[in-house]
A and B are shown apart, each in its own frame.
Chain A
């Protein structure tokens, strides 16, 4: 009887514990970011507060790459220190210098934060780059010889970094906001 009770308790305890949700941008956008962050007055297409939008897969890709919310390839990467995670755990400074924790109107479950951290730690696939008309984007990498962060032009498909097209040298950089998909400067 004791064994039966113990087995039952273990089953009940195990029910719903394992978080096997996929750590990809499609799931995170539709199941977490859109219902939590994309309210009318916040990060919906309707408002686009602070320029960030999280209601379709394309939208967070653009916000994350365009505003360096994750910087997935600028290793060594600590996902917990990225702007995206800081904003939902301890708060980040807004334009007026005030620290505000997101979501503003309803807290985010710890398990959702952990799933986003897992997605970032696995490279934030889907929001690594934005392709220009030629299919090229920008990526950051850690130069193994100098341990310096550098940038390069890469092939970019669905927000995932592909083959290297060109390493930027000297003072040139590849940045989404400064001539996306080419070395400039």
Chain B
């Protein structure tokens, strides 16, 4: 038993399924028109606005006070505080079934506003980097600030208009699903912890929004992504239920130059309280040595709201590592059931089955997982 516990904890350090999540884009169109309608950041995710608090309270089984620490620690009007704690456990198919229990996120947020300017800091736990010689990482090796940026916004009260940000954050690109193992994030230019230093000019209205971000490889730490470049994303809401978007990202690193282009779409069906969202991306990577594999990355998710406190997501992913070669494409089916128990506490059952070269004579082993994920928003 002890061996099993040790094993699960150790493998937790290696697993790539964990960690901080952004917002739920399932709420866009279905509950509000824009991400900034519910979040302080124009990109969505993290700290909530008053409207976001209201949605959190409404979308829960036992609607508790939605404010930071249930409102027992009131903050001055210029300061917003928050945080997220997440952990998960279950089985991962690698292709053998391995038990896994792991922390996902322990972060605090602070957002101070001064007239039109604001300072945002996200700080918390990070996976410690391996230390050669079996050294044990110290406390400081396990802490970092994933996000920190200064922002100017045209209209601080409306959460719309022009935003300008500079600092460390994730470039806005694509659907921005919270579940980072979805192919359009993992293989699509915004993998977990790819936050880096950059500057962004963003414009958000209820009818349309556009985000342009220039970014560099993080010069201060050993980063997840070594790419520097620019990302552009825009979406237009054709009506209250339908929006379409376009994306373009050009990056370079020591060994390659990569271009990504794609489209997104969201359709809300109010009669069945269901949102369908999709993203298709084409990527071409020019690798030193002359080859440039063409890739297709796609994800479509249907989200059905079940009553006032549950959300069922069914997602289909496709990633073709090199469209010229058979057997290099992978497909996944994700089924996630969210239960928003209180305004702060959520349980999610997450399941994936993933196949390689599906329907072809070549491919590879089958993978997947089933996990119970607990999330507490401070």
The answer to whether the Cβ of B364 comes within 8 Å of any Cβ in the partner chain is: yes
Contact in complex: A39, B191 (CB < 8 Å): yes
Hey, which bits of chain B sit against chain A, CB under 8 A? 3, 6-7, 10-11, 13-19, 92, 94-96, 98, 127, 129-130, 132, 181, 186-187, 191-194, 221-224, 226, 253-256, 285, 287-291, 293, 321-328, 330, 354, 356-357, 362-367, 369
Contact in complex: A111, B325 (CB < 8 Å): yes
Give the distance in Å from the alpha carbon of A95 to the alpha carbon of B11 in the complex.
Answer: 11
Give the distance in Å from the alpha carbon of A104 to the alpha carbon of B369 in the complex.
Answer: 11
A89: nearest chain-B partner, CB-CB: B365
Contact in complex: B366, A107 (CB < 8 Å): yes
Contact in complex: A21, B291 (CB < 8 Å): yes
Selected from B224, B255, B326, the residue in CB contact (under 8 A) with A26 is B255
Residues in A whose Cβ lies below 8 Å from that of B369 = 105
Q: List 22 A-B contacts (CB under 8 A).
A: A21-B293, A21-B325, A22-B290, A30-B255, A35-B186, A40-B193, A40-B224, A45-B222, A45-B223, A45-B224, A45-B226, A46-B222, A47-B130, A48-B129, A49-B130, A57-B254, A100-B14, A103-B94, A105-B369, A107-B366, A111-B327, A112-B328
Give the distance in Å from the alpha carbon of A38 to the alpha carbon of B194 in the complex.
Answer: 12
Contact in complex: B191, A40 (CB < 8 Å): yes
Residues in B whose Cβ lies below 8 Å from that of A105 = 15-17, 92, 94, 181, 367, 369
Contact in complex: B255, A101 (CB < 8 Å): no
Hey, which bits of chain A sit against chain B, CB under 8 A? 16-17, 19, 21-22, 24, 26-27, 29-32, 35, 38-42, 44-51, 55-58, 91, 94-96, 98, 100-113
Contact in complex: A42, B223 (CB < 8 Å): no
Residues in B whose Cβ lies below 8 Å from that of A45 = 222-224, 226
Give the distance in Å from the alpha carbon of A45 to the alpha carbon of B92 in the complex.
Answer: 24
Selected from A32, A55, A91, A108, the residue in CB contact (under 8 A) with B226 is A55
A110: nearest chain-B partner, CB-CB: B364
A97: nearest chain-B partner, CB-CB: B3
Known A40-B192, A105-B92, A109-B364; contact A47-B129, beta-carbon cutoff 8 A: yes
Interface centre among A32, A47, A94 (most CB of B within 10 A): A47
A58: nearest chain-B partner, CB-CB: B254
A17: nearest chain-B partner, CB-CB: B326
